[in-house]
Structure 1
C-alpha cells in the first residue's frame, strides 16, 4: 500500500484541502464527458414523418395533382414549420429533464487531512481516500486499502451477483477481476472499506466504455404512444372520409379539381398539428414543477402514472416522521425506566455501547457538519452527553473488527479496544439482540442470568416505550477474546450481556397528517411498511391519520406464514395496514401482491435491499436526503426532502398534468367540426353552396391562432376537486368517449352552427342564392370573400370560447377564476393579433384570401365566444346535477 500511496502522492489520511483543490483544477471534475453526436437530424426527421405530418404531405401531393402549386407550397411550409416547433419543444423538454440532475447532486465521503468530509462526487480527485459503506456508489476507480465490501459490478460486467472486494495483494490479471479494485458506476451492497482513488472522470473503466457508446435512442412515454395511436386513427378517419365523399362530390356535379380541393380540405381540417409537441411540453413542465417542490421525476412517463396511483406504501422513519432522533427514555434491568436528562447514573453503561457501535459522525464546528444515520447520531449524542469521546478518529483507532448493520438481522456489532480490555458491542432491534443475550447487567456492574422472567420484563418495557411512538433499541456487550477478531458473526454476537434499552423519539412531520387526509379524499389507500416495532409503527400511523376507519397491524412473522392467496385477500379488503418488522424481501412481496390485485402502487424506500421493490412498483420513490445511491438509481422519483407530503403533491401534479392533456385535446379536437362542415356542405350541395373556408385559412387557424392557447392550457392550475376524485383506472386511455362527445357534439357542433350561420348570413345579406356564381370576376365575389373571412374570424372567436370552456371538465369557470391562468390570456392576445393581421394586412389578404370586415360584423362574430362557452357551461351544470358525487370515493 505504501507504494500505491507513494505513486499517487497521497497517504492513509488522504489529501489536504489545498492539494485536492490543485488537483481538481489540473484534472478537471470527476465527470464523464458530455456525449455529443448528431442525434438531432433523427429527432427532426421523426417530426416530419409522424402520422399527422404524413397526412399533410398527402394533402400537398393532392394540391399538386389539382394544379394548385401555391396551395401545395403552403402546406409544405406548414409541415416544416410545425416540425421545427415540435422538434424545438421536444429538445427543450429533454434538456429540462436532463438538467434535473442538479437537484440530485451525488455526494461521497472522503478523508481530507484525516477528517471525514462529505463532498460532491464531481470533486473527487486521484489520491483521495474514499470511505465506502453499504449502499454507497463508488465515485471513481480505486484500490482498497482497508476493509472489505460486496460490490455490484453489473453495470460493467453484466453479472448480477455481487462480488467480494478486500484490501490486500494485487495479483496480475484483468482489472475487473482484481480482488482489491473498485470501479466508478458500481455500488456497495454490503460491508465497509476505504479506497484510494486511482482514476477519475474519463480515466475510469466506465469512462472508457462510455467513449465507445453511441447515443441512446428516443423512447416514447405510454401517453405519447396512446396519442400516436389516436393520430393514426385521425389519419384513417380523414383519409376514409375524403375517399368516401370524393365520389359523392363528383356525382353531385363537382369538377375533378374541385373534388380534390374538397379532399385536401378534409385532410387539413382533421390534422391537429400541435397535439404531439404540446403533450411533450406539458409533461416536461410538470416534471420541472415537481422538481421545484422536492420531487425529482427521472422520466416523463412517470408523470402520467402518478395521476393514477391508488396505493402508497410508505416507510415510517424519515417519511412520515422528521428523521431527527433524540433520546427520550432509557431502561436498564437494574433501575427500570428513566429519562436521559434526569437519570444520569444510568446513561454511562448504555453510552459505552453507543460510543463504539456506530458509523456516524456528530457535528463538530472544527471539522464540519455531522453525517450518518439519524438513529446512530442520536445514540452518539447520548454518549457525548455522558462525557465520552465520540470522535470518529478515536472510534476508528480502537476498532478491531466490525459487523455492519444488516437489515435482515437488524443489528450491528463491533469489536473494540477499551480501557478495560477488548470488548464486543452490539446494538439493534430488541428482538434481534435479546435473542443473543444470556445475561443482564446489574447496578454494580456484575451480571445476572437472563431467565424467562427477565426476558418478559424486557419485552414489557419495550412494548411500553413503543406504545408511546418511540423507536426502541437494545444495547449489549461482553468481553472479547482474540478469537472474536476473526470469528463468524454468529459466534461474535452470542453470549451477550444486555445493558439496557434506549427509546428514541422521531416526531411525525407536521405536513403529513393533512397530506394523508388529502390522499384519502382522492381515493388513495396508504399502507405503512416498516422494519420498526409494531406498536411504534401503529402509534405513528394513527397520529397522522392512517387507518382512521380501522387500522390492521401485520407483523413480519405473520406475513411470512401467509400464502399468496391470503395476502391478496388481505390487501383487497377495505382499510389500511401497518406492516411492521418487515424484511426487505417481504416489501417486494407486498408490492407484487398489490400489483397482482390491480392496484397502481407507489412505494418508498431508502436502502440497498429496497431496490427490487422500487423497481417493481409502478412508481418507486427513493429518499434523496437519507437514501442510498442504489435506491435512488432504482427509483422512478426521488424526494429531495424525504417528506410524505411531497408524494401527495406529486400525485396531485400528475393528475393535473394528465387532466391538462385532456383539456387541450378537447380544445384542439373541437375545431375540426367547424373546419370540416363547410367542405361537407360544399360537397353535398354539389357546389351550390360555395366553400365557406379555404384550405389556407384552415392552416392559418391551426398553426397561427390555435397553438399558444393550447400550450397555455397545458399549464392550467388544478381544477377544484381534482384530488376528490377516484384515481384514473390503469386501463383508461387519454381520450374518453365523453371527451369526444364534448369536443365534437357540444363545442364542435355549436361552433359549426355559429360559423356556418355567419357565412350564410353575409352571403344572403349581399343577395346571394344557392348556385349563384361567387368566383373571381362574379358580382358576388367580394361578398364571398367577406363571408369566408367571417367564417375564419368566427372560428377564432369560437376558439376563445372553447379555450375558456376547456379549462374545467367538471367545475364551473367561476370556481376556477378568469385570471388564474395568465398564460391563456397572453395566448388569446396573440391569437387576436394574428387574426387582425390576417384580416386587415394587404399582404396577408392576398395570401390567405381575406378582406376587411366592418365593425358590425366583427361585433356580431365576437358574440360566438361567450355563446360557445355558455353552451358548454350549461352542459357541465347538467352533468353535475345528474351525477352528484360520482367522482368521490370513501377510502
Structure 2
C-alpha cells in the first residue's frame, strides 16, 4: 500500500539561534562536515517547505472590480446614466458608463501593486546553489535548500538562504537589506555580543550578493523564515488604504447624490401640487437630477491629478497612483533617509589631523596622505575614474588633494601582503616590501580610531602628543558629523607570520575625517517644509552623530533636534511620547531597522498624521507600503522599493519631495475650485423653477429641460476641466497642512458657491428673463404658449435665461480660479486652457441660439442687441462682486493679524 507523502506541519520546529557557538548550532541543525544526507534533505524539505518567497492568495479580480463599480461616486454616475437613458439621451448615457468603467479599471490596477512587490522580492533569489550533501558537492535548485545544508559561496554568487559562515570570508553587498551602499566583510568566527542580526560579521542573508572572497556556510533559515521572507510577509500585511482624496470623494458623492435626489423629488411634488401635468413635472425633475449630478467630477479630478503627475515627472518624481498627488498635498510629516537623499552620496575628505600639528597642513600631511592611499584596494579605469569601496575612493581622491597623489599601479607592485578589513578588529592593513637599498618592511594600518589607537603607543604618537589627545581630536571630528579613520604604520624586519603579530606597537600618522556633504538645495527645501508646517524626521541605519550633524547643517531640528541612538529599542509607548504627546521636535532615528520604520509610520498614522516615507532597500518595502506616500529612490533604490512605493524620485533628491507636496496642495485647491464652480450653478438652475412654482404658474417656466442639459453637459465641461490646471495661489506653502479629517467641502465653500456666486447669478439671470418679457408687454398670467402673441417673446426670454447662465458661468470660472488672492496676482491670462474653454462655451451657446436646427430642438430664439449687451455684463458683475468679497476677507485677516488702526504710524 502506498503511503501519502508527509505534509509540512502548520508550525515548523523552532529556529535555532544562529549566534550560538558553532558546535552547538551544528548539533541543533543535525549536520556535520559531510553535510546532510539526500534523504534527510528531502524530509526537511517536506517539513519546512521550499526556499522561496510566496505571496498569499489575493482577492479575485472580479470581486475587486465589483467593489470599484459599487464605489459611491460610481453609483452616482450609474444613476446619472440611467436618468440620461430615461431622458432619451443615449449618447450621454453611454459616455457616463464609459467613465465608470475606465475609472474602475484604473483603480483595479492600483490594487495589484502589493502583489507585484512580493513578486519582485522573489527575483532576488538565485535559481541554483552549490551544496555539500553526503560528503560531495552538488548543484541543486535554490528552492530545495533546507536548514542544515552546507552551501559554498564565491564571488558573484547570490546568497541562497540565511546562513552562518563556517570557513573563509567574503565581501557582501547588503544594500538591499540595509540601504547602505558600501560592501561589508563577513568571515567565519565567534559572534559579537550585542550586535543587531544584520550587522553580525559571521552571517550572510538570502538575496544579497557576494562581491568577493570564498566561504562555506551552514544554512539556518529558508523561505519565509529568512530576513527576505520576513520582509515579504510584512509587505503583504501592510495593505494600501484609501487616500484622503478617495475618502473625501466618497463623502462628496453622497452629498451631491442627496442634494440631487432631494431637489428632484421636491420639484416633482411641487409640480404635482400646483397642477402641472405629471409628464411635464417628471421630465423637469429628471432634468434637475441630471443637471445636479456632476458627470464631470471624476474626469476633472482625474485630469487635475494627471496634470500634477506630468508636472512632477518633469521635475524628477514619478507618481504611480494618481490620488497620491493629492495625498502629498495633505502630508504633515516627512520621514527621510540620510544617505543619498539629504546628502550627495559622495564621500569626500573633509579634514586631516596629524600628531604635533593638529589640522595644520604641511609636509607631515603628505606623509599621512601617502599612507592612507597605500592602504586601499581601489582601482582606476582607462578614463581615470576610481572604482571600489566609496570610503577608499574618498581616501585616494583626498590623498591627491593633500599632496600625496598615489600611483595605484606602483602600490600594487610594492604590496606583499594584504589583511582585509576585519569587522571584529575594525582594521585593515597592508604590508609593503622594502625600498631598494632598505631592509625593513613597512606595515600601514587604517581603521576605527579606537581600534588603531589601542594598538598605538604614546611613543608612537610622536612630538609629545599622547594617545588621549588623538582620541579627543577623533571625538571632535565625529561630533562634526564626519566618519573618522585613524592611519598608522610600523616597520618590520621581516614579514609577520600572523596578523596579530603585525598590528601592534603602531606609530600614529594621523586622523582623517570623511564627509558626505548635503545636497545644496536641501536646506532651502527644509525651510519650505517648516514654512508649510511640515515636520521632518530622519530614519537612517547610520550612526546618530553623523546623522545629527547632517540634520543640523540642512536645518532639520525645529524647534529642537532629538537623537535616538538605538531606535530599534524604542517601544510603542516611547514612540507615542516622542512623535505625538511630547514636544514638537524633529527627530533622528539612528540605527533603524525595517520594523523601526514600520513602527514610526504606524504611530504617525494612528494619530491622524499624513506620512511620506522615503526608502531605497528591500528592508524599506513594508514601511513604504504602510506610509500614505511611500517614496523610493530611482537611482540607488532596489526594484522592490520602487514596486512598493507610490512615488519614485528619479533624482533621489529630498527637494523633489517638497516640490511634490506643493503640487499636491495645488491639486487639492483646484479640486475645491472645481466643486465651487459646479455648485454655483445649482442656484440659477433651480431658482427659475422655484419662481414658476411659487407663482402657481402665473410666471411661465424660465428654462427648459434640454436647456439645463445643454448647460450642464455642453457649456460647463471645458471650463471645469481647465480649473484643474490652475496654477498655485501665492502662499500655498505658507499655510499649515490640513487635517486628514477636514472635508473637501467646507461650509464656506457652500456659502460661496450656493449662497454668493449662485445667488448673484440667479438674480442676474432672472433680471434678464423678466426684462425680455416686460419689454414685450407681458403681465403675470398672460398666455405664452404656442400660437399666443407672446410666444416668440417667451422663447426669447428663456433663451436669455439660458445665455445668461452661460455668461454667469464665465464670471464664476474666473472667480473660482482663486480662493484668497486677487485675480491679478495669479494672472488674468495665465490659464490658457480656461480661455479656450470660455471661447468654446460662447461659440457653443451661439450655435444653439442662432442655428435654426438647434433653435427648434432646444426651444431658443435669436437674441436682440440690447439683450446681448445686458447679458454681456453678467461675467464682470459675478467676478467683480466676488473679487470685492475676497478683498474684504483679506483686509479682515490683515486687521486681525495687525490690529494697529489705519493711519496710525507704528513706533519704531
TM > 0.5: yes
For 1:885 and 1:603, how far apart are their aligned partners in 2?
39
Per the alignment, in what secondary structure is the counterpart of residue 440 of structure 1? coil
For 2:742 and 2:405, how far apart are their aligned partners in 1?
63
Q: Contact 2:757 / 2:882 at 8 angstroms: preserved in 1?
A: yes
Aligned to 1:704: 714
Aligned to 1:10: none
- CA change 1:57–1:347 in 2 (3 A) is closer
For 2:388 and 2:891, how far apart are their aligned partners in 1?
57
For 2:73 and 2:600, how far apart are their aligned partners in 1?
44
Aligned to 1:304: 326
Per the alignment, in what secondary structure is the counterpart of residue 563 of structure 2? strand
Shift of 1:349: 3.1
What do you get for the CA RMSD once the two structures are aligned? Answer: 5.1
What does the per-residue CA deviation read over 1:242-279, in whole Å, with 9 as the maximum and x for residues that have no partner? Answer: 22332332221212112212211221221111001111
What does the per-residue CA deviation read over 1:319-361, in whole Å, with 9 as the maximum and x for residues that have no partner? Answer: 33333332132346687546599711112333344x13x7xx6
- CA change 1:633–1:242 in 2 (3 A) is closer
Aligned to 2:383: 365
Q: Contact 2:715 / 2:841 at 8 angstroms: preserved in 1?
A: yes
- CA change 1:710–1:481 in 2 (3 A) is farther
Q: Name the TM-score, length of structure 1 as normaliser.
A: 0.71
Q: Contact 2:76 / 2:257 at 8 angstroms: preserved in 1?
A: yes
Aligned to 1:378: 394
- CA change 1:363–1:844 in 2 (3 A) is farther
Structure 2 counterpart of 1:857, from 860, 867, 879: 867
What does the per-residue CA deviation read over 1:152-204, in whole Å, with 9 as the maximum and x for residues that have no partner? Answer: xxxx99x9x9x9975489xxxxx99999xxxxxx9865452589xxxxxxxxx
- CA change 1:444–1:194 in 2 (3 A) is closer
Shift of 1:789: 0.9
What does the per-residue CA deviation read over 1:549-591, in whole Å, with 9 as the maximum and x for residues that have no partner? Answer: 643342405x567654444334344554352643335455444
Aligned to 1:670: 680
What does the per-residue CA deviation read over 1:441-493, in whole Å, with 9 as the maximum and x for residues that have no partner? Answer: 789799x9x9xx73x54442123224555443456899999999xxxxxx999
Query: Equivalences for 1:749-788 in 2 at 5 Å?
Result: 749-788=759-798
For 2:837 and 2:269, how far apart are their aligned partners in 1?
40
For 2:422 and 2:701, how far apart are their aligned partners in 1?
80
Shift of 1:654: 0.8
For 1:828 and 1:597, how far apart are their aligned partners in 2?
45
Per the alignment, in what secondary structure is the counterpart of residue 879 of structure 1? helix
Is 1:620 aligned to residue 630 of structure 2? Answer: yes
- Greater CA radius of gyration, 1 or 2? 2
For 1:301 and 1:885, how far apart are their aligned partners in 2?
37
- CA change 1:782–1:538 in 2 (3 A) is same
Aligned to 1:583: 592
Q: Name the TM-score, length of structure 2 as normaliser.
A: 0.69
Aligned to 1:551: 560
- CA change 1:43–1:825 in 2 (3 A) is farther
Per the alignment, in what secondary structure is the counterpart of residue 733 of structure 2? helix
Query: Equivalences for 1:481-520 in 2 at 5 Å?
Result: 501-520=511-530
Is 1:462 aligned to residue 474 of structure 2? Answer: yes
Q: Contact 1:249 / 1:259 at 8 angstroms: preserved in 2?
A: yes
- CA change 1:712–1:142 in 2 (3 A) is same
- CA change 1:137–1:810 in 2 (3 A) is farther
What does the per-residue CA deviation read over 1:519-568, in whole Å, with 9 as the maximum and x for residues that have no partner? Answer: 22111123344455655544443433333x643342405x5676544443
More displaced stretch, 511-520 vs 592-601: 592-601
For 1:885 and 1:94, how far apart are their aligned partners in 2?
50
Is 1:743 aligned to residue 753 of structure 2? Answer: yes
Q: Contact 1:469 / 1:540 at 8 angstroms: preserved in 2?
A: yes
Aligned to 1:796: 806
For 2:336 and 2:785, how far apart are their aligned partners in 1?
71
Aligned to 1:210: none
**Which runs of no fewer than 5 residues in structure 1 stay unpaired?**
1-36, 64-71, 101-105, 107-134, 147-155, 170-174, 180-185, 196-216, 485-490
Is 1:569 aligned to residue 577 of structure 2? Answer: yes
For 2:422 and 2:685, how far apart are their aligned partners in 1?
70
Per the alignment, in what secondary structure is the counterpart of residue 872 of structure 1? helix
Q: Contact 2:248 / 2:743 at 8 angstroms: preserved in 1?
A: yes
Q: Contact 1:747 / 1:872 at 8 angstroms: preserved in 2?
A: yes
For 1:565 and 1:38, how far apart are their aligned partners in 2?
42
Aligned to 1:835: 845
Q: Contact 1:437 / 1:494 at 8 angstroms: preserved in 2?
A: no
- CA change 1:841–1:693 in 2 (3 A) is same
Per the alignment, in what secondary structure is the counterpart of residue 779 of structure 1? coil
Shift of 1:376: 4.5
Q: Contact 2:125 / 2:207 at 8 angstroms: preserved in 1?
A: no
Q: What is the count of residue pairs matched by the alignment?
A: 737
For 2:897 and 2:584, how far apart are their aligned partners in 1?
20
Per the alignment, in what secondary structure is the counterpart of residue 73 of structure 1? coil
For 1:639 and 1:164, how far apart are their aligned partners in 2?
41
Q: Contact 1:47 / 1:86 at 8 angstroms: preserved in 2?
A: no
Is 1:693 aligned to residue 717 of structure 2? Answer: no
Q: Contact 1:415 / 1:422 at 8 angstroms: preserved in 2?
A: no
Aligned to 1:319: 341
Per the alignment, in what secondary structure is the counterpart of residue 871 of structure 1? helix
- CA change 1:626–1:695 in 2 (3 A) is same
**Which runs of no fewer than 5 residues in structure 2 stay unpaired?**
1-60, 132-141, 165-175, 178-205, 214-238, 435-440, 899-908
Q: Contact 2:564 / 2:589 at 8 angstroms: preserved in 1?
A: yes
More displaced stretch, 710-719 vs 307-316: 307-316
